[in-house]
Amino acid sequence: MTTAAVIVAAGRGSRAGGEVPKQWQMLAGRPVLAHAIDAFRAQTDRIVVVIHPADRARAEAVAAGCDLVPGGATRDASVRNALEALAGAGVERVLIHDGARPLVSPAVIGRVLAALETYSGAAPALPVTDALWRGAEGLVAGTQDRSALWRAQTPQGFRFADILAAHRAYQGVAADDVEVARAAGLDVAIVEGEEANLKLTFPGDFARAEAILKGRGMDVRLGNGYDVHAFTDGDGVWLCGVKVPHGRALLGHSDADVGMHALTDAIYGALAEGDIGRHFPPSDPQWKGAASHIFLRHAADLMRARGYHLANCDVTLVCERPKIGPHAAAMQATLAEIMGVEPGRVSVKATTSERLGFTGREEGIAALATACLVRS
C-alpha cells in the first residue's frame, strides 16, 4: 500500500523567536524541519514538504529526495496544495505532519498507519490530565470537565482519496486535518501519542527538545552493498575511482565502477534510501557512461543532509586479476576525497574466489561494501 507524508512547513510563526521561522532554526546542529523529514523516510514511499516560496533554497538543502510544494494562505490551504500535487500518483494513505514537530517517533507513525487498516482517519493524541479553568479578566471564572478531552498531535493519517475529497469540499479555515475530515463525515480514530512529540512553539521548547534528543542517545546505521560487472573489450577497469590497466574493461550502463557502486549502495542502504537505481535510473539516458563519483557524492551529501557522518566503510573487490594491492592506497584516497572524509575511515582490499565461480573464471569482478553511519 503506497503511503505518502505531507510535512507542512510554510508558516511564518514568530512566537518561537529567532531571526528565521522556527522550522529553520537549529536543533542539535540541524534545522528543525530536517528532523521532521527524517522521521518519515523509513515508513513512507514519498514525502511532500510544503514550504514558503522564500524558503526554497533552505528546503532544497535539507529535503533531498522530497517534493517541494508552495504553501497557501492558511494551513488547510497548504495541505490541499500538497494533496493536489499527489493526486493521480497512486497514493493510498497519507500522513499529514507539522514541520515544527521534529521528535515524532516510528512507534507513533506506526500506530497511525495500523489504525488506517480499519478507519478512514487516525491521529495521535494525549488525554488531558491537568485541571481546566475558564478565565475572565485574569480570574478563574469556572472549571471545565476534562474527562473526554484530548491534546491533538500529528501525524494525522487518512485514506488518501477520502481526505482529498474532504479538503476539496471544505469551506472556511480548519484548525487541523481532523476537523476537515470530520466535516466530511469521516471517522477518525485516536491512537496513543507521546509527550516527546511536542510542537515547538515558544523559545523554551527548543531546550526541551534538545534534552529529549540527548536522551535518545547515538543513532548508528549500518548498510551493505553488492555489485558485479562482466568483462568486455577494453584496456582498463575503473575500480573505486582509479583506472587500473588491464586487458579488459567492465561492462555497465555507467562507467561500471563495481567498487564505488557497492559502496554507494551501502550508504543508501544505511539511510533506508534504496539503491543507485532508485536515484539514478538506468532507463534515464543522461546516466549512460556517467562517472560513478556522481553517485557516491550524492549518497554522501544525502548522508550529511540527514545529520550523519561516516564512521568507517570497507570495500572488498573480488577478482583474480587485475591485482588490486598496488592501487589500494590510491583507491582509498580517491573514495575519501569524493565523500569528504579522512582516508583513515576508508578501507579498500581485495580477495580472490580461489578460481571458483564467474570471478574465478575471470568473467567479471564483484564487490562488497559495508558503511557505518553515526548521528549523535
Length of the chain in terms of residues written: 376
In this prediction, residue 195 carries a pLDDT of 96
Q: Which domain holds residue 177?
A: 3-216
Peptide bond just before 326 cis, omega within 30 deg:
no
In this prediction, residue 105 carries a pLDDT of 94
In this prediction, residue 115 carries a pLDDT of 97
Q: For residues 61 and 139, state if they share a domain.
A: yes
Q: Count CA atoms closer than 13 A to 32's CA, side-chain side.
A: 28
Q: For residues 224 and 211, state if they share a domain.
A: no
The reply to whether the predicted model has a pTM over 0.85 is no
Q: For residues 193 and 284, state if they share a domain.
A: no
Can you give the CATH number for the domain in which 203 is found?
3.90.550.10
Q: For residues 240 and 319, state if they share a domain.
A: yes
Find where cell 510535512 sits.
7
Q: For residues 212 and 299, state if they share a domain.
A: no
Q: For residues 239 and 197, state if they share a domain.
A: no
In this prediction, residue 14 carries a pLDDT of 67
Query: How does pLDDT run along the chain (376 residues), one tens digit per residue?
Result: 899 999 999 988 667 677 889 999 999 889 999 999 999 988 999 999 999 999 999 999 888 889 999 999 999 999 999 999 999 999 999 999 999 999 999 999 999 999 999 999 999 999 999 999 999 999 999 999 999 999 999 999 999 999 999 999 999 899 999 999 999 999 999 999 999 999 999 999 999 999 998 888 778 999 999 999 999 999 999 999 999 999 999 998 889 999 999 999 999 999 999 999 999 998 888 888 889 999 999 999 999 888 899 999 999 999 999 999 999 999 999 999 999 999 999 999 999 999 999 999 999 999 999 999 998 6
User: Rounded to an integer, what distance in angstroms lies between the CA atom of residue 51 and that of residue 245?
Assistant: 50
User: Rounded to an integer, what distance in angstroms lies between the CA atom of residue 204 and that of residue 198?
Assistant: 12
* Residue after which a domain boundary falls, among 166, 193, 216: 216
Can you give the CATH number for the domain in which 357 is found?
3.30.1330.50
Q: For residues 245 and 205, state if they share a domain.
A: no
Q: For residues 21 and 160, state if they share a domain.
A: yes
Burial of residue 178, with CB atoms counted within 10 A of its CB: 0-12 exposed, 13-18 middle, 19 or more buried? buried
User: Rounded to an integer, what distance in angstroms lies between the CA atom of residue 250 and that of residue 235?
Assistant: 10
Cβ atoms of 248 and 232 within 8 Å: the answer is: yes
Q: For residues 197 and 267, state if they share a domain.
A: no
* Residue after which a domain boundary falls, among 191, 216, 241: 216
Domain count, the chain: 2
Cβ atoms of 36 and 99 within 8 Å: the answer is: yes
User: Rounded to an integer, what distance in angstroms lies between the CA atom of residue 368 and that of residue 372?
Assistant: 14
- Sequence-distant (≥ 6) Cβ neighbours of residue 344 within 8 angstroms: none
Cβ atoms of 163 and 181 within 8 Å: the answer is: yes
Q: For residues 356 and 322, state if they share a domain.
A: yes
Q: For residues 73 and 147, state if they share a domain.
A: yes
* Residue after which a domain boundary falls, among 194, 216, 238: 216
Q: For residues 179 and 322, state if they share a domain.
A: no
In this prediction, residue 17 carries a pLDDT of 74
Helix (H), strand (E), coil (C) string for the chain = CCEEEEEEECCCCCCCCCCCCHHHCEECCEEHHHHHHHHHHCCCCEEEEEECHHHHHHHHHHCCCCEEEECCCCHHHHHHHHHHHHCCCCCCEEEEEECCCCCCCHHHHHHHHHHCCCCCEEEEEEECCCCEEEEECCEEEEEECCCCCEEECCCEEEEHHHHHHHHHHCCCCCCCHHHHHHHCCCCEEEEECCCCCCCCCCHHHHHHHHHHHHHHCCEEEEEEEEEEEEEEECCEEEECCEEEECCEEECCCCCCCHHHHHHHHHHHHHCCCCCHHHHCCCCCHHHCCCCCHHHHHHHHHHHHHCCCEEEEEEEEEECCCCCCHHHHHHHHHHHHHHHCCCHHHEEEEEECCCCCHHHHCCCEEEEEEEEEEEEC
